Amino acid sequence: MPQNYKSIYIIGAGSIVHDAHMPAYKTAGFDVAGIFDVDLSKAKLLANKFGIANVFESLDDLLLAAPKDVIFDLALPGSAIAEVLEKLPIGAAVLMQKPMGNNLQEAERILQISQDRQQLAGVNFQLRYAPFITAARSMVDSGKIGDLCGIDVRVDVSTPWHLWKFLHGLPRVEILYHSIHYIDLVRSFFGNPARMMAKTVKHPAMKEIASVKSNIIMDYGDWISANIVTDHCHIYGPQKEEANIILKGTKGAIRMKLGVLMDYPNGVPDLFEYIILTENKEPIWQTINIEGTWFPHAFIGSMVQIMLSMESGLEPDNAVLDAIHTMACVEAAYRSDGVGGIKLYG
């Protein structure tokens, strides 16, 4: 954690701020000094619930009131980020909600703006800071499960897409707004893949959403596998829903249940299991209690990266310079989806 917490000014007051940003910041003891949303009533509701001192009627008012040494938390759709970045002060510290724009072209523009304006800018790819991921990374780094040679993500849940009206009608949804988390997570372990292969599709029950199911392969050559399979239209009851990340090593494996995705936004308890292979012994899975979960606790980690960077002058782990590669992977996945596979005959 940083030695000194910085005050936060939030731009945007949607459901993600209510469900994750504010609970996380309250848990960590961060000071949210002000909030603005184009829908003033939303901002006032959040301010009343979480004790935010200042509600601003315009972005200009917020920028005029904000001291120099603060963090601007942009909880905005990808399409709105660039315009707001251009209005933030030179040298501002910024944490922007993912995605980093709606496509690679917009991401490159966001990167250029942040560099031109000398902003300390990071992207809120927060899954890599979830408590269970932190625990898993520690086990991987210690060599307990041997060499990491595979990551599988399997999500089969009923997602309430109606909570995010701005997604209705967008040409890109599932990979850009959900599986992007898993793509970024895989990158945080394996680096950039050589290629992306993907197919993303609709579901008859959610015709207003561009895509709700995806199959993604991140190609790391012949010895490492990275597979992401998601389906947000599990209409068959909660008993068989599934949301797991599995890390596979040469000496063991880790399996993490993403409880927040099941019965969202209420969620169910996470589960962290691991197995260490021992010669001549029967493999036995063990369970560890992990304090905290993806929503809201991982959002603390994203903000901490910006605060630590302000203290040290070093690049944050979630810097736009790293996030641009996640956006490139997403773009390649959509290009793969557009090109299609190989026909059986001819």
Spatial contact of 146 and 233, defined as CB atoms under 8 Å apart? no
* Residues 6 or more apart whose Cβ sits within 8 Å of residue 167: 161, 173, 177, 209
Q: Judge residue 138's burial from the number of C-beta atoms within 10 Å of its C-beta, 0-12 exposed, 13-18 middle, 19 or more buried.
A: exposed
Spatial contact of 86 and 63, defined as CB atoms under 8 Å apart? no
User: DSSP secondary structure string, 202-233?
Assistant: --GGGTTSS-SEEEEEEE--SS-EEEEEEESB
Residue ranges of domains in the chain, CATH in brackets? 8-123 (3.40.50.720), 128-295 (3.30.360.10)
* Residues 6 or more apart whose Cβ sits within 8 Å of residue 162: none
Strands (E), the chain: 8-11, 32-36, 54-56, 71-74, 93-97, 120-124, 148-156, 195-201, 213-219, 225-231, 242-249, 252-257, 271-276, 286-288
Per-residue pLDDT of the chain (346 residues; tens, 9 = 90+): 878 899 999 999 998 999 999 999 999 999 999 999 999 999 999 999 999 999 999 999 999 999 999 999 999 988 899 999 999 999 999 999 999 999 999 999 999 999 999 999 999 999 999 999 999 999 999 999 999 999 999 999 999 888 888 888 899 999 999 999 999 999 999 999 999 999 999 999 888 999 999 999 999 999 999 999 999 999 998 889 999 999 999 999 999 999 999 988 788 999 999 999 998 889 899 999 999 999 899 999 999 999 999 999 999 999 999 999 999 999 999 999 999 888 888 6
User: DSSP secondary structure string, 137-183?
Assistant: HHHHHHTTT-SEEEEEEEEE-B--GGG-GGGTT-S--HIIIIIHHHH
DSSP, collapsed to helix, strand or coil, labels residue 344 as: coil
Sheet containing 242-249: which strands, arranged edge to edge? 195-201, 213-219, 225-231, 148-156, 242-249, 252-257, 271-276, 286-288
Sheet containing 93-97: which strands, arranged edge to edge? 54-56, 32-36, 8-11, 71-74, 93-97, 120-124
